[in-house]
C-alpha cells in the first residue's frame, strides 16, 4: 500500500478535487510545494500543489477523478 498522485496543478484546483474526493469517502493528502518553497526562501510555481490518495482507494476515486478532469 502506498500513495499515488492523482492531481498536480494550482492550489485552487487541488482544493476542488480534494473536496470532491473526500465527499466520496476517499482520504487525501495534499503536498503544497509552493508553501514549502516559500518557507525555504525560494520562489515557487503555480503548478506545485499535488493531491495523493491511497492506491487501494483508486477504484472508488477513479470516477470522481475522471468527472473532475472532464469538467476542466
Report the DSSP beta bridge partners of residue 52: 5, 29
- Tens of pLDDT along the chain (72 residues) come to 699 999 999 889 999 999 999 999 999 999 987 665 555 566 555 558 999 999 999 999 999 999 999 998
Q: Please give the Cα distance from 30 to 39 (Å, whole number).
A: 17
| pTM of the complete model | 0.81
Amino acid at each position: 500500500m502506498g500513495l499515488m498522485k492523482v492531481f498536480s496543478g494550482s492550489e485552487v484546483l487541488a482544493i476542488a478535487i480534494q473536496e470532491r474526493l473526500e465527499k466520496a469517502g476517499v482520504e487525501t493528502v495534499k503536498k503544497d510545494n509552493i508553501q514549502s518553497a516559500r518557507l525555504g526562501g525560494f520562489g515557487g510555481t503555480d503548478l506545485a500543489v499535488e493531491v495523493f490518495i491511497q492506491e487501494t482507494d483508486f477504484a472508488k476515486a477513479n470516477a470522481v477523478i475522471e468527472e473532475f478532469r472532464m469538467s476542466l
